[in-house]
Structure 1
């Protein structure tokens, strides 16, 4: 389900973006289940206008749209649409527009790690609500006849393990920005043209957290060099440069709106 603020991973409770029916993957439950190949496997992501992002993805994601931080935890997300529940880059056939970076959060679906509070460990879950998860005519099963995970499942486990490592690294990156007090509240705005061509009333599209260029430039030289040497500075600049993507999203929305057929008025 879509949440206004995407939910951090690591829990089986609450709303987690895209996952409608997650359950721990187990041979007792899923030995005769698997996934079927689909020409358009990303239809589920059409409702994801704000998708969680890991810090290592910033340089790739910055060319698609804004990278912003939201909520008390300052969760980094890739903005992929201006309206809640509408990913502007997923086509009706379940494929992404050409040249769009697909976040790892989307690519790992229908798998997800979650915390088992009782066992105090991470467990791998599968979304039984996924369109391509089935118990009939599947192309890639979850388990071998002997109960061992298939090569497909092993690869998915490795992907999720790597994602979890990157998620932890992202938390450390965000904490670093918090410790240096680099965040500030930002707004994305749009000034539509009036009927006479003059600028109309400015509209606020979004409010979010971002790195303050003023605060960044005011850091002591030694701290600035430290950010450069540990790689954080490059990620910060990727975030800051990505914010021009608001203009791209606005232009795309206006273009699509202009292509809509005019309503037919009854006489």
Structure 2
């Protein structure tokens, strides 16, 4: 169930060939007035770039909003970072409509709204031991980035209001990632994360299995010692755990949204 979702790093002029590109990104470049002064951004609500992603990274601050619409899961890789499941089949996002709009009334994850911008650690020209500068980067191959119109990213040699706003958003996203990692680390320290799988019987009697993710074990959560429960309550982690557990009820809604399926029984079992 793993899809690459790590943050980027600028290498030279481009990161096209890098294997560490985050989801959606194809060509990462640090924004510079000399090179990108004529870039503009089309703001038309087209999320077609997310059409082929069946899961989207999620920060902890988004749990409450996302839990109303999607199952919130923990990735089965070594990071165990949270994601929302937006499709029951690989490379299928059920919430990107035919015209590219996100399904009306459903929460749009911040990871999607931040694209095509991202904070980059710019190590170009640094000597050994020097700390890379954190700068705003952009996917210059993104469909909404243009050199022919759109909302400008620069006004002369200075960042436009749009670029400043997106820079603040990218910075807030990065800070929330750090908080999310602390929550995941707390779950792992208390051994709360367990492997799960979903087995679905389709209308034609074929079976579909979704594997490679983890969830919080409700019994282990309730069994936390009182001092840990107090810590979890004061830190807000207990509320995040509850939101995650409630969100698992969205599996049935997600399968119903798949146009190729009728109402199907779901076996949510430990693996």
TM-score band by shorter chain is 0.7 to 0.9
- Report what 1:8 is aligned to: 6
Secondary structure of the residue aligned to 2:138 is strand
Counterparts in 2 of 1:130 and 1:202: CA distance versus 1, 3 Å: closer
Cα distance in 2, alignment partners of residues 177 and 202 from structure 1: 31
- Residue 184 in 1 paired to residue 202 in 2? no
Q: 1:43 aligns with which of 28, 45, 48?
A: 48
- Unaligned 5+ segments in structure 2 are 11-17, 263-271
The answer to whether the 8 Å contact 1:23/1:125 transfers is: yes
- Report what 1:214 is aligned to: 219
Q: Give the deviation of 1:242 after TM superposition.
A: 0.6
Secondary structure of the residue aligned to 1:47 is coil
- Report what 1:26 is aligned to: 32
Deviation string for 1:213-263 (max 9, x for gaps)? 12111111221122112110000011111111111111222x4446xxxxx
Aligned length: 247
- Residue 126 in 1 paired to residue 138 in 2? yes
- Residue 143 in 1 paired to residue 154 in 2? yes
- Residue 159 in 1 paired to residue 169 in 2? yes
Deviation string for 1:51-105 (max 9, x for gaps)? 1000000000011111111111101101111122111000111101111110000
Q: Give the deviation of 1:11 after TM superposition.
A: 3.1
Cα distance in 2, alignment partners of residues 6 and 217 from structure 1: 32
- Report what 1:244 is aligned to: 249
- Report what 2:104 is aligned to: 98
Q: Give the deviation of 1:191 after TM superposition.
A: 3.0
CA RMSD of aligned residues (A): 1.9
Cα distance in 1, alignment partners of residues 52 and 81 from structure 2: 19
Q: 1:172 aligns with which of 159, 182, 193?
A: 182
Q: Give the deviation of 1:201 after TM superposition.
A: 6.9
The answer to whether the 8 Å contact 2:59/2:180 transfers is: yes
Cα distance in 2, alignment partners of residues 35 and 136 from structure 1: 9
Cα distance in 1, alignment partners of residues 257 and 96 from structure 2: 13
- Unaligned 5+ segments in structure 1 are 195-199, 259-267
Cα distance in 2, alignment partners of residues 4 and 226 from structure 1: 31
Q: Give the deviation of 1:4 after TM superposition.
A: 3.6
Q: Provide the TM-score with structure 2 as the length reference.
A: 0.85
- Bigger Rg, structure 1 or 2: 1
- Report what 1:265 is aligned to: none
- The runs of at least 4 consecutive aligned structure 1 residues that moved more than 6 Å come to none
Q: Give the deviation of 1:115 after TM superposition.
A: 2.4
- Residue 84 in 1 paired to residue 96 in 2? no
